[in-house]
Amino acid sequence: MAVGLGPAKGKDAASSLGPWLVTTDEMAPYLRNGRLRVKCTVRVNGDVWLHEGDGGAAHHSWGDFVERASKDSRIVPGDVIGSGTVSGGSIPEAIARGIDGARYLQPGDVVELEVEGIGMLRNTLGPKAKVDAAYRYLPKR
């Protein structure tokens, strides 16, 4: 992929869901012109790395996402469609903006992702996995 983000329909790891699932009617107050306008905040160990990012600033609408995802695949209840990172909400963006303390995550870091109308998802990074050097499919270094 040109920007190293991976295939559009293949994000089966490193994704978090929650803390709650909400229905369309619960998010209706945040819909404006077909866009889900929610404020998003990212904290690492209590330090704010993104303050009130705009969850509705994506180039494509949710209707566009559903149209593309269903082009050659069947979508059924329970499927999850992710829209990507809120602008400014990635580690490289936090580092580039000079956010105090921004760096790549380490074991023990507590990451909080808060989305208006949904809630806060809080996770603590566990220890680094022990990788079997004989495993054929190691990540590129």
- Reported as a single tens digit per residue, the pLDDT across 74-87 is 999 888 877 778 88
Answer with the residue of higher pLDDT: 58 or 140. 58
CA 110 to centroid of chain Cα atoms: 16
Question: Residue 9 in contact with residue 73, Cβ under 8 Å?
Answer: yes
Neighbouring C-alpha atoms within 13 Å toward the C-beta of 126: 2
* pTM listed for this prediction: 0.77
Question: Which class for 141: exposed (0-12), middle (13-18), buried (19 or more C-beta within 10 A)?
Answer: exposed
Q: Is the pLDDT of residue 10 over 90?
A: no
CA distance 5 to 54: 21
Q: Could you tell me where the beta strands, DSSP code E, fall in 1-141?
A: 31-32, 35-36, 39-44, 47-54, 110-115, 119-124
Q: Identify whether 19 is preceded by a cis peptide bond (ω within 30 of 0).
A: yes
